[in-house]
Amino acid sequence: MNTPQLSVFLENKPGHLQNVLRVLADHAVNIKFFTIAEVKDFGILRMIVDKPQEAHTALRAAHFACSLADVLAVAMDDTPGTLLRLVDAFARRSLNIEYMYAFTDRHGKHSITIFRFEDPAAAARALEEEGYRILKWLSPGELQA
Protein backbone atom coordinates (compact mmCIF):
# COMPACT_ATOMS: atom_id res chain seq x y z
CA MET A 1 0.00 0.00 0.00
CA ASN A 2 1.34 3.39 -0.95
CA THR A 3 1.47 6.61 1.01
CA PRO A 4 -0.48 9.74 -0.03
CA GLN A 5 1.69 12.82 -0.27
CA LEU A 6 0.16 16.27 -0.32
CA SER A 7 1.87 18.84 -2.60
CA VAL A 8 1.14 22.57 -2.70
CA PHE A 9 2.26 25.28 -5.11
CA LEU A 10 3.81 28.22 -3.27
CA GLU A 11 5.19 31.50 -4.50
CA ASN A 12 8.59 32.25 -3.06
CA LYS A 13 7.42 35.22 -1.01
CA PRO A 14 7.22 36.07 2.69
CA GLY A 15 3.99 34.93 4.34
CA HIS A 16 2.95 32.39 1.73
CA LEU A 17 4.09 29.33 3.68
CA GLN A 18 2.20 30.64 6.71
CA ASN A 19 -1.00 30.76 4.65
CA VAL A 20 -0.76 27.05 3.95
CA LEU A 21 0.23 26.12 7.49
CA ARG A 22 -2.63 28.19 8.89
CA VAL A 23 -5.19 26.25 6.87
CA LEU A 24 -3.69 22.97 8.05
CA ALA A 25 -3.60 24.14 11.67
CA ASP A 26 -7.21 25.32 11.47
CA HIS A 27 -8.21 21.83 10.38
CA ALA A 28 -6.06 20.16 13.05
CA VAL A 29 -3.90 18.48 10.42
CA ASN A 30 -0.59 17.18 11.75
CA ILE A 31 2.43 17.17 9.47
CA LYS A 32 4.61 14.07 9.70
CA PHE A 33 7.20 14.77 7.01
CA PHE A 34 7.78 17.96 5.18
CA THR A 35 10.10 19.26 2.48
CA ILE A 36 10.18 22.14 0.01
CA ALA A 37 11.66 21.92 -3.46
CA GLU A 38 12.21 25.34 -4.92
CA VAL A 39 13.37 27.21 -7.99
CA LYS A 40 13.82 30.96 -8.19
CA ASP A 41 10.23 32.17 -7.99
CA PHE A 42 8.25 29.32 -6.58
CA GLY A 43 8.46 26.17 -4.59
CA ILE A 44 6.52 23.00 -4.14
CA LEU A 45 5.72 22.08 -0.61
CA ARG A 46 5.51 18.31 -0.14
CA MET A 47 4.08 16.81 2.99
CA ILE A 48 3.03 13.56 4.55
CA VAL A 49 0.18 14.45 6.89
CA ASP A 50 -2.09 12.51 9.21
CA LYS A 51 -5.32 13.41 7.37
CA PRO A 52 -4.39 13.72 3.70
CA GLN A 53 -7.91 13.81 2.20
CA GLU A 54 -9.17 16.35 4.68
CA ALA A 55 -6.06 18.50 4.27
CA HIS A 56 -6.38 18.35 0.48
CA THR A 57 -10.05 19.39 0.59
CA ALA A 58 -9.29 22.25 2.99
CA LEU A 59 -6.43 23.58 0.85
CA ARG A 60 -8.51 23.37 -2.32
CA ALA A 61 -11.32 25.26 -0.63
CA ALA A 62 -8.77 27.92 0.33
CA HIS A 63 -7.85 28.14 -3.40
CA PHE A 64 -4.38 26.62 -3.29
CA ALA A 65 -3.12 24.67 -6.29
CA CYS A 66 -2.45 21.30 -4.68
CA SER A 67 -2.61 17.59 -5.34
CA LEU A 68 -2.38 14.19 -3.70
CA ALA A 69 0.08 11.70 -5.17
CA ASP A 70 1.18 8.19 -4.30
CA VAL A 71 4.69 7.94 -2.93
CA LEU A 72 6.59 5.02 -1.43
CA ALA A 73 7.86 5.26 2.13
CA VAL A 74 10.70 2.81 2.77
CA ALA A 75 12.26 1.95 6.13
CA MET A 76 15.96 1.10 6.28
CA ASP A 77 18.68 0.69 8.88
CA ASP A 78 20.39 3.98 9.55
CA THR A 79 23.84 2.70 8.61
CA PRO A 80 26.40 3.59 5.93
CA GLY A 81 25.74 2.11 2.49
CA THR A 82 22.06 1.17 2.90
CA LEU A 83 20.74 3.99 0.69
CA LEU A 84 23.31 3.12 -1.98
CA ARG A 85 22.10 -0.50 -2.09
CA LEU A 86 18.48 0.62 -2.26
CA VAL A 87 19.06 3.07 -5.12
CA ASP A 88 21.08 0.40 -6.90
CA ALA A 89 18.02 -1.87 -6.84
CA PHE A 90 16.10 0.75 -8.80
CA ALA A 91 18.97 1.46 -11.19
CA ARG A 92 19.31 -2.21 -12.11
CA ARG A 93 15.65 -2.18 -13.11
CA SER A 94 15.93 1.15 -14.94
CA LEU A 95 13.37 2.72 -12.63
CA ASN A 96 13.85 6.48 -12.57
CA ILE A 97 13.34 8.28 -9.25
CA GLU A 98 11.40 11.50 -9.86
CA TYR A 99 12.44 12.83 -6.46
CA MET A 100 13.10 11.63 -2.92
CA TYR A 101 13.69 12.86 0.59
CA ALA A 102 14.72 11.10 3.77
CA PHE A 103 14.43 11.36 7.54
CA THR A 104 15.78 9.40 10.46
CA ASP A 105 13.30 8.32 13.06
CA ARG A 106 13.29 9.71 16.55
CA HIS A 107 15.45 6.91 17.95
CA GLY A 108 18.07 7.21 15.25
CA LYS A 109 17.98 3.50 14.40
CA HIS A 110 15.99 3.66 11.21
CA SER A 111 15.68 6.07 8.41
CA ILE A 112 12.59 6.59 6.30
CA THR A 113 12.98 7.54 2.67
CA ILE A 114 10.11 8.86 0.58
CA PHE A 115 10.32 8.06 -3.14
CA ARG A 116 8.25 9.47 -5.97
CA PHE A 117 8.16 7.27 -9.07
CA GLU A 118 6.31 7.64 -12.29
CA ASP A 119 5.29 4.01 -11.86
CA PRO A 120 4.92 3.39 -8.12
CA ALA A 121 3.63 -0.15 -8.66
CA ALA A 122 6.79 -1.26 -10.49
CA ALA A 123 8.94 0.37 -7.82
CA ALA A 124 6.96 -1.35 -5.08
CA ARG A 125 7.52 -4.72 -6.78
CA ALA A 126 11.24 -4.03 -6.94
CA LEU A 127 11.34 -3.21 -3.25
CA GLU A 128 9.47 -6.36 -2.35
CA GLU A 129 11.79 -8.50 -4.47
CA GLU A 130 14.78 -6.98 -2.69
CA GLY A 131 13.20 -7.52 0.72
CA TYR A 132 12.69 -3.90 1.76
CA ARG A 133 9.93 -2.84 4.07
CA ILE A 134 7.39 -0.52 2.45
CA LEU A 135 5.65 1.39 5.20
CA LYS A 136 1.92 1.21 5.13
CA TRP A 137 -0.35 4.14 5.48
CA LEU A 138 -2.78 3.54 8.27
CA SER A 139 -5.41 5.79 9.69
CA PRO A 140 -5.17 7.92 11.79
CA GLY A 141 -1.94 8.64 10.09
CA GLU A 142 1.00 6.77 11.53
CA LEU A 143 3.40 5.11 9.17
CA GLN A 144 3.69 1.54 10.31
CA ALA A 145 5.67 -1.46 9.26
Chain positions contacting other proteins, by CB under 8 A: 5, 7, 9-11, 16, 37-39, 41-42, 44, 46, 60-61, 63-67, 69, 98-99, 116
As measured in angstroms, the least distance from the Cβ of 77 to other proteins is 28
As measured in angstroms, the least distance from the Cβ of 68 to other proteins is 9
Q: How many other CB atoms sit within 10 Å of the CB of residue 140?
A: 7
3-state secondary structure the chain: CCEEEEEEEEECCCCHHHHHHHHHHHCCCCEEEEEEEECCCEEEEEEEECCHHHHHHHHHHCCCCEEEEEEEEEEEECCCCHHHHHHHHHHHCCCCEEEEEEEECCCCCEEEEEEEECCHHHHHHHHHHCCCEECEEECCCEEEC
Query: Which CB sits closer to other proteins, 67 or 79?
Result: 67
Query: Which CB sits closer to other proteins, 38 or 128?
Result: 38
Query: Which CB sits closer to other proteins, 5 or 110?
Result: 5
As measured in angstroms, the least distance from the Cβ of 130 to other proteins is 25
As measured in angstroms, the least distance from the Cβ of 9 to other proteins is 5
